[in-house]
Amino acid sequence: MGLTLLALLPRLLGDAGYGQLHLALSLVLMFGVTIDLGLTQVLVRAVAREHALARVYTRRGVTVTLGLGAVLYVGSLGLVRLVGYPARTDLLVAILGIGMLLDGMAQILSGLYQAHERMHIPALARIVGHLVTFGLLLPRLWEATPTDTATVAGVLVTSSLVQLLIHAAGLRWLDGLRVARPADLSWWALLAAGVPFLLWQSLGVFYFRIDVVLLGLMTPPAVLGWYGAVARMMDGLTFMAETLSLTSYPVLARLWSSSRREFERTAQRVLTIVLLIAMPLVVALVTLAPYVVDILFTSAFRNSVPILRIHAFTLGLLYLNFLLARILMAIGRERAWLGIAVMGCVLNPALNWVAIGFTQARYGNGGIGAALATLVMEMCIATCALRLVPRGALGWAFAGVTLRLLMAGAATAAVIVLGLALDAPWVLAGIAGAVAYLVLILYFGLVPEDVRGPVRALWRAALRAVR
């Protein structure tokens, strides 16, 4: 549903309008990342180990989010006026800033569900929020003129309000809130524990959004629209990696203190699944990029094709890095990950400045340079993170899995390219590639047994039903 929404917005707004909305969203996100002072991650780790601490951590997190959120809202409006972004950017930031406050509250409550390993309510909230957005925006698709960006921003804030209400409504089912016990939790100790997470989150958002900020300053709105459409699509495609990292984080944190051997086995299993999902996405986006852009964003975004192909490789690295970051946080090495984030925030703006300027002057598309800069930085981050993860979580066995997976991905790409060269419809070429990938990962034994077992059972049940 999120991916469908990402395809809807460019059609409603056009390339320039979508670029303006994406810039405002990025600016609000860069402020909103600090809204909880990193306490959500502290809450998840503490409550995952002892549910009875849920009430005291939630109360402190909500207090910080409300107080700091008000300050950040005023600060974001001041920055937009000071820098002098294009007209109406300040209006969009004012509207979306309300959503920042609502999302900050929902983030605290979502962390509470995550710590209890009960993610069905946050999932339901996201689904209903998307339904609300569709219901309000879809009728505008058939209007002759582009939709006003402020209207779209208002709809997104309405969706955030609905999601917060659903999060709050489900709290009564969490046992940690029912069996709460008093805790001597000083504000100083709590904030100190959140500082590494706060810095990591802040630097991460700065790292991921500085390209949009620089594009907004160095290129026309249309270029930002080409880049923003692909960037938002990549954000949507990371949901599987985010889901696996969110659900595995409390489990890994618990196993690190109770069973190191089971921790290593679990980390390897999750890493394997993440890469199994990432590989076909990378191959499909690289080989079928022109068709994907045309269907999702219309031919007005044809300049997004080279950006999408570069970002496809970045997506594979993001899947890996998402989980590596969670592993490091689960074992208490968030300070080491923080060092990696600092490196990225120093090098990434410099790379973007040079690459955007060069590709804008040479090709009239600075988005290509921004995409290349991000790819280079993700490669550096993955290299550093792999050296920090405990050896037992990777090892030679995992290296063998990675090699076989790369072979399967290369063969899949060859099948799709061959199909396109023979003038087969792109849908059939994609299906042939998917079948080839499935056969190869089964042949190489890449699918974990605890995944193969249920799949075989379902297949046998389906055959019995047919007979």
Q: Which of 7-11, 54-58, 158-162, 368-372 has the lowest mean pLDDT?
A: 7-11
SS3 per residue for the chain: CHHHHHHHHHHHHHHHHHHHHHHHHHHHHHHHCCCCCCHHHHHHHHHHHCHHHHHHHHHHHHHHHHHHHHHHHHHHHHHHHHHCCCCCHHHHHHHHHHHHHHHHHHHHHHHHHHHCCCCHHHHHHHHHHHHHHHHHHHHHHHCCCCCCHHHHHHHHHHHHHHHHHHHHHCHHHCHHHHCCCCCCCCHHHHHHHHHHHHHHHHHHHHHHHHHHHHHHHHCCHHHHHHHHHHHHHHHHHCHHHHHHHHHHHHHHHHHHHHCHHHHHHHHHHHHHHHHHHHHHHHHHHHHCHHHHHHHHHCHHHHHHHHHHHHHHHHHHHHHHHHHHHHHHHHCCCHHHHHHHHHHHHHHHHHHHHHHHHHHHHHHCCHHHHHHHHHHHHHHHHHHHHHHHCCHHHCHHHHHHHHHHHHHHHHHHHHHHHHHHHCCCCHHHHHHHHHHHHHHHHHHCCCCCHHHHHHHHHHHHHHHHHHC
Of 451 and 231, more confident:
231
Q: What is the mean pLDDT of residues 310-314?
A: 93
Query: What would the pLDDT profile of 229-286 be if each residue is shown by its tens digit?
Result: 888 888 778 888 888 887 888 888 888 878 878 888 888 888 888 888 899 999 999 9
Q: What is the mean pLDDT of residues 5-9?
A: 76
Q: What's the pTM?
A: 0.68
Query: What would the pLDDT profile of 164-216 be if each residue is shown by its tens digit?
Result: 999 999 988 888 777 766 666 677 777 777 777 776 667 767 777 788 888 87
Query: What would the pLDDT profile of 400-431 be if each residue is shown by its tens digit?
Result: 888 898 999 999 999 999 999 998 899 999 99
